Structure 1
Amino acid sequence: MAATNADRPAAARADEVWKVYGSGEARVVALRGVTAEFGRGRFTAIMGPSGSGKSTLMHCLAGLDTVDRGTVHVGDTEVSKLNDKTLTRLRRDRIGFIFQQFNLLPTLSAKENIRLPLDIAGRKPDPQWWDIVIDTVGLRDRLSHRPSQLSGGQQQRVACARALIGRPDVIFADEPTGNLDSRSGAEVLSFLRASVREHQQTIVMVTHDPVAASYADRVVFLADGQIVDELADPTAETVLDLMKRLDTQAEPVML
């Protein structure tokens, strides 16, 4: 019998993770013993005020930054023990990234940008999966266009398809709609939601936007480097209400 998602290790997890930057008077504790799991086939949003540690947590989970104490796993692999070469391979083969800046190569077409991670790895896309991703992203008639010929929303959907095409264990998205208008942002979030619902992709997204967070299955809230609350099946209203409640418990308020 095939293992279900519940039977398998979490797509990513942090166990008692501490991260400190600087020393002396410049010392900043970005994460304070954070423990969190991100289940397979789930869409999780990470929220919190500026300086709360949400982006630091994502960077540590993705192997983009090291931890000072504690452990980070992607699946059953302990990221914090990998050497640079193995870590690079892990990020290339098992992790997808979507950033606020689209990070598309301007001289390549949309198709070439989507294929780029596979080309670098010397892999060919599975034809059936390619069709599924391209149809989900809704840009089949734009594949020959370069980024300058695409709208911001279309460019970000190309970036989403690029992250998805290698079938990674988990996709980390850092403010993926931060540079988009509300309509384009909704298109990108709908695509991410569909990739979870229809294709069991795992997504961990940092956002400050309650509307963006409402597309997730679960929202984790950070403040001062610690997880202070979480919310299942969020709506924009319930996210905003909890953010306001947390803000009244902490000073200064920085949104």
Structure 2
Amino acid sequence: MTAAPAHSSPVAASARDLTKVYGTGEAEVRALDGVTVDLFTGEFTAVMGPSGSGKSTLMHCLAALDTPTAGEAVVGGSSLGTLKDKQLTRLRREQIGFVFQAFNLVPTLTAQENILLPLDLAGRKPDPAWFDQVVDAVGMRSRLGHKPTELSGGQQQRAACARALVSRPAIVFADEPTGNLDSTSSAEVLGFLRRSVDELGQTIVMVTHDPVAASYTDRVLFLADGRIVEEMRRPDRDSILAAMARLTPARTTGN
């Protein structure tokens, strides 16, 4: 893998020799095997790789959802391994946003209440101007009074994206955010994520298996066997497909 070019943006999160081992002896699995990478502020990064390559484990370690076996994960200048439980909870609440494949909206709450839920749980009042900006960017203004069952899948995921952004996190982690969506809804959500980077200055890291989704990003990191084996900037669908084919040479058809 060629060295990445020098980057002028600040680092939002980083991994240094990050290792995650499950099991012992013959059953040992190295989900991450010494990953070192910087994730830059105001940039949209995709993490891709074959099943079992470590992409979700990397995201979970950087998002303070899992603890590495060795190495260091840093978010917003804080080394996660040095933080106590309460500090980690506060960091996840204030510095990190999450978007999941399953939306994870509360069914009894309206879209607006779901979007504001992280702030409510933290006892913080929303910034009205920022809330309006996020809601308009995600195109949910006319649906704020609707509950999840009254929203399409794309609308639910856009509400989940707004929820991740409303607390102004240092970084948003998105785990297969279009995995449950049709192509039209996927394009809506990806377009919003792209605009949130370009227009709102957000930093987003997205785990995905979809070359079309990854083509919306500024940078793609390819993992195999727990290591970053390739990196691509200004990706397009065809170059991503070619890289994935190099990582999985035995596969001749997509799944």
Alignment identity in percent?
64
2-structure distance, mates of 1:7, 1:137: 25
Relative distance call for 1:210 and 1:254 in structure 2 (3 A) is closer
Q: Aligned residue pairs: how many?
A: 249
Asked whether the equivalents of residues 76 and 95 of structure 2 are also in contact (C-alpha less than 8 Å), the reply is: no
Unaligned runs of 5+ in 1: none
Residue equivalent to 1:243: 244
Instruction: Report the secondary structure of 1:205's partner residue.
Output: strand
Asked whether the equivalents of residues 219 and 232 of structure 2 are also in contact (C-alpha less than 8 Å), the reply is: yes
Deviations 1:222-254 (Å, cap 9, x if unpaired)? Answer: 000000001000011110011112222x79x99
Whether 2:108 is the aligned partner of 1:107: answer yes
2-structure distance, mates of 1:75, 1:116: 22
Instruction: Report the secondary structure of 1:6's partner residue.
Output: coil
Residue equivalent to 2:8: 6
Alignment RMSD (CA, Å): 1.7
Residue equivalent to 2:185: 184
Residue equivalent to 2:3: none
Scaled by the length of structure 1, the TM-score of the pair is 0.94
Residue equivalent to 1:52: 53
Residue equivalent to 2:224: 223
1-structure distance, mates of 2:254, 2:25: 24
Residue equivalent to 1:124: 125
Relative distance call for 1:7 and 1:116 in structure 2 (3 A) is same
Residue equivalent to 1:133: 134
Letter in 2 for 1:78: S
Runs of 4+ in 1 over 3 A off after TM superposition: 5-8
2-structure distance, mates of 1:127, 1:232: 35
Unaligned runs of 5+ in 2: 1-6
Instruction: Report the secondary structure of 2:179's partner residue.
Output: coil
2-structure distance, mates of 1:42, 1:68: 28
Deviations 1:20-49 (Å, cap 9, x if unpaired)? Answer: 011123211100000011000000000000
Relative distance call for 1:213 and 1:7 in structure 2 (3 A) is closer
2-structure distance, mates of 1:107, 1:246: 44
Residue equivalent to 1:69: 70
2-structure distance, mates of 1:14, 1:80: 12
Scaled by the length of structure 2, the TM-score of the pair is 0.94
Asked whether the equivalents of residues 50 and 254 of structure 1 are also in contact (C-alpha less than 8 Å), the reply is: no
Asked whether the equivalents of residues 9 and 41 of structure 2 are also in contact (C-alpha less than 8 Å), the reply is: no
1-structure distance, mates of 2:74, 2:242: 32
Residue equivalent to 1:160: 161
